[in-house]
Amino acid sequence: MDALDSPMTATLGDELVFRSGARAKNRVALAALTNQQSHADGTLSDAEFAFLMARAKGGFGVVCTCATNVAADGQGWPGELGVYDDRHLPGLERLAAALRAEGALAFAQIFHGGARAPSTLTGQQPFSASAFDDPSPTFEKPRAATLAEIERVIGQFRDAARRCCDAGFDGVELHGAHGYLLGQFLSTVTNQRDDAYGGDNAGRARLLREVTRAVRAAVPATFTVGVRLSPEEGGFARGLDLDESLEVARWLADDGVDFVHLSLWDATKNTKKRPEEHAIPLFRAVLPADVRVVAAGAVWTRADGEALLARGADVVALGRAGIANPAWPREVVTEGREPKRAPLTVDELSARAVSPTFSTYLRRFKGFVAP
């Protein structure tokens, strides 16, 4: 029988229990969405609170924050939420409590920008796995991180996760995708180190694994810990190989993750390396059954989401459809309505708790905001 016809396939409305014991009321997550709405010191703003709360009220089983920086020198964008200082705690506590009160699991995505943490924000030259060049006009050549800096970053991820846990979040997602610091170490292009943090796949994955283990050890087993990965290269995620990513996912399961989140951008497509195969079943096959697979990429309709579950995903994460449809789980999954599709006017976005600041940022995503 084709997997697509399998009577065992869950539906989007079904509850999901993570290995941590955390229960999501359905299989629909709001993916991490950078929105540039936080205050300059990284504290939560009312606009960001309202954006996330509208999605919790709309029925998302999991609501994830934007990429939040674990260190002042890891900030990737202006207006980014911070988790690196106790001054961030009151906002994080308010957000976690309110999301949970709406019945959503509250996750924070934690990250360090590495080479993509510009000096205009951090006041210093960025660091990465290695010094490397890039043709993009705003690129700043990073220097290679010292071993002491690597140790510091591991501690910063650990402390950030603990802070999220103390603030009342249900879990964290380590951002290993899209070519930020953890991804820069995974890459054969941006990691040219000849020490224990470079070289073969085990060496390049060492930082991500040490961060994962440090985080896992710092929080209770009931706190959900996952990792977002780009399975193959694309955009800023360079120097990645599908089979190496599968190996990394397996190692992360050994290190105690509750989920692996595949960032696919277009989840209707098969892998580049093996065009006859899709990433979801490949990752599902190498992971223990209780390590959940989350998948994101161009899900708009209920059928799009169900197709990913049928391929073996446990949870479907929405980015753009979740911006356009704050109540996607209720309206599209439960009531069977057609989703609102892009482009949206600024007024339509505003009616969906998207502030003018966020609307401006969204113009970077072609065809999303009406001219």
Catalytic site residues? Answer: 180
Q: Which residue lies nearer to ligand FMN by CB, 55 or 193?
A: 55
- For residue 32, the minimal CB distance to ligand FMN (Å) is 4
Q: Which residue lies nearer to ligand FMN by CB, 96 or 323?
A: 323
Q: What is d(CA 70, CA 84) in angstroms, rounded to the nearest whole number?
A: 5
DSSP code, position 108: E
Residue 292 belongs to what H/E stretch? strand 292-296
Q: What is d(CA 37, CA 196) in angstroms, rounded to the nearest whole number?
A: 38
The DSSP-derived string for 234-254 is: BTTB-S--HHHHHHHHHHHHH
Long-range contacts: 199-208, Cβ < 8 Å, 24+? 201/244, 201/247, 201/248, 204/129, 205/247, 205/248, 205/251, 207/129, 207/150, 207/153, 207/154, 207/181, 207/182, 208/174, 208/176, 208/182, 208/248, 208/252
- For residue 146, the minimal CB distance to ligand FMN (Å) is 27
Interface residue list for ligand FMN (CB under 6 A): 31-34, 66-67, 109, 175, 177-178, 228, 263, 265, 296-299, 318-321, 362, 365
Q: Which residue lies nearer to ligand FMN by CB, 82 or 319?
A: 319
Q: Shortest Cβ contact with ligand FMN: which residue? A: 319
Q: Which residue lies nearer to ligand FMN by CB, 193 or 263?
A: 263
- For residue 215, the minimal CB distance to ligand FMN (Å) is 17
Q: What is d(CA 148, CA 163) in angstroms, rounded to the nearest whole number?
A: 22
- For residue 72, the minimal CB distance to ligand FMN (Å) is 18
